[in-house]
Chains A and B, each alone.
Chain A
Amino acid sequence: MSGALEFRLTLPLAGFTLALEHATRSRALGVFGASGSGKSSLLEALAGWRGGVRGRIQFDGATWLDSERGVALDSARRGVGYVPQDQLLFPHLGVEGNLRFGCARDEGLVERVLRVLEIEPLRTRDVASLSGGERQRVALGRALCARPRLLLLDEPFGALDRPLRRRILPYLLRAQREFGAPFVLVSHDPTEIAAVCDEVLVLRGGCVVARGAPAQVLAPGGELDEGFENVLRGRVSAVGAASASVDLGGVVLEVPRAELAPGELAVVSVRADDVLVARAAPTGLSARNVLPARVDELVRGPAARLRVQLGAQPLWIELTEAAIDELELTRGAAVFVVVKTRACRVLASAGAA
């Protein structure tokens, strides 16, 4: 299964026309944009829930839509697992009934889904009695049980408050790893996209305004107004009493322990305004992370920031223009980056490979 998704489609919506074109082989494609930018409509078009879509959609060699040749597969035949924003759980079937809806006899699959998403204890519950996070997991589980070839997730974190959102992230990563289907994820939260996806499309007014790796595309200043969070990935090299060491590719970051185990893949976020920069390695600091880095990019102005290369990954740092001048920072300069352990947040860990 190559998982190649290609589409070129137009869909008239209220107010504007969605006109998108993309081809990707990535395992996780993110779709980012403000509300009303057409993200959900794109998913519905891919899922086959929308009439009025014109163009071509091809997945894994199969043609799902070809307006010129009059091909339009209905959603059942596309093998798409769509998890909409409102989950759409069947109210008259319990959790187990919902999970089993799309898979008649595959007991093993159902058990695996229950385990991976940790919804075993919810098995006999009524849909109406579930919390927001539980509903999300059940909806995801239901889609997975139907053995989808492509998963479409519309704001899987959307209905939840921040702490809860971060709890869903690991399940998503686990699902990605355990069940293998590539997915397209829609979110208005750049951190979540950065944590999960290898490629992102940025939509505005129904058009793609940027595409690429999250670190490149989702940079501070552009689409964002909140404090930017850097998302870093690495492998856990050691684990201590209260902290863990994450190897970012040559540079080791001390992060809170947070149930990490050695050998795991960890996804960590660091806020851009939580990082200090020094020209010389400072000593006597409480911060455990004093890491050498090289300045790659410098942006002046009211939202002054710089991007350094930390190991193999970019790190954005917000600071004042005055500081840039004072430290005489230029492109290519060698600096030290200071980050408190507690300022690093472990978003998720994906179990040992």
Chain B
Amino acid sequence: MQWESVAPALVLTLQVAACSTALVALPALALGRLLARREFRGRSLVEALAALPLYCPPTAFGFLLLRAFRRDGPLGEQALGFDLDVLLTWRGAVLASALMSFPLVVRTARVAFENVPPRLEHMAASLGASRAQVLWRVTLPLARNGLIAALLIGFSRALGEFGATVIVAGNIPGRTQTLATGIFDALQVGDDARAVQLAGWSALLGFAAVWTSEWFLRRSRSATS
């Protein structure tokens, strides 16, 4: 196996997936908590919107991001006065992955929060804990394993993101070429050997991430008994 032909894509994929997960962590977990507990008007709308990246083709989202960040777009250099430099960079890849993995993290986090008995939170409150303290001392510790699983699932999704990434970040070897886009590129130039190696690494990483998340999910199910 030629390490040099695989390494840049492998490293970039891990970096992009890690950054993407870090980016969605707070908003997705917060939304998961909100959907788990509160009934509010417009809730089904929020749920549907949050789930959109699961059902719409990733290319549609790639297109959306492209339109948004182009020079003449609403978030482009001309509109903002400075260049966010998202398109055709690793930041664009992070954004695309973050968007596409968001609904999965929300969903899994929501289940994790739903598994925390609300009466335990009431008990904490009646013992004098403030809302923030209830969250920090009771809810999060009890939901912890499920939340880690949620982040790992988001990470797995980000590892394999292609459709939106290739449109927003392009396919520049060494700069924005991930394992997924690298496979596509290798196929295009007929480098089957490279394609096989990249696909192998993708499968390995994806498997490891999903297996670990399942482990945490199992622990979370047994913890809140």
Contact = CB atoms under 8 A, between A and B. Distances in A.
Is there a contact between chains A and B in the complex with CB atoms less than 8 Å apart? yes
B125 A91 contact: no
A74 B125 contact: yes
A76 B137 contact: no
B126 A49 contact: yes
A80 B126 contact: yes
Contacts of A92: 138, 141-142, 223
A91 B122 contact: no
A75 B124 CA distance: 10
Contact of A88 (B120, B128, B224, B225): B120
Interface in B114-145: 117, 119-120, 122-130, 137-138, 141-142
Interface residues of B, number: 19
Contacts of B127: 76, 81, 101-102, 142-143, 146
Contacts of A48: 126
Given A88-B120, A90-B120, A91-B224, A75 B138 contact: no
B126 A82 contact: yes
B225 A91 contact: yes
Interface of B is mostly: helix
Contacts of A81: 126-127
A84 interface: yes
A90 B133 CA distance: 14
Interface string A204-226: 00000000000000000000000
Q: Which of A76, A78, A102, A142 has the most CB of B within 10 A?
A: A76
Contacts of A246: none
A102 B125 contact: no
A191 B186 CA distance: 82
Going nearest first, the 7 A-B pairs with the smallest beta carbon separation are A102-B127, A75-B126, A88-B123, A146-B127, A92-B141, A76-B125, A49-B122
19 contacts: A49-B119, A49-B126, A74-B125, A75-B125, A75-B126, A76-B127, A76-B128, A78-B126, A80-B126, A84-B119, A88-B119, A90-B123, A91-B224, A101-B127, A101-B137, A102-B128, A143-B127, A146-B127, A146-B128
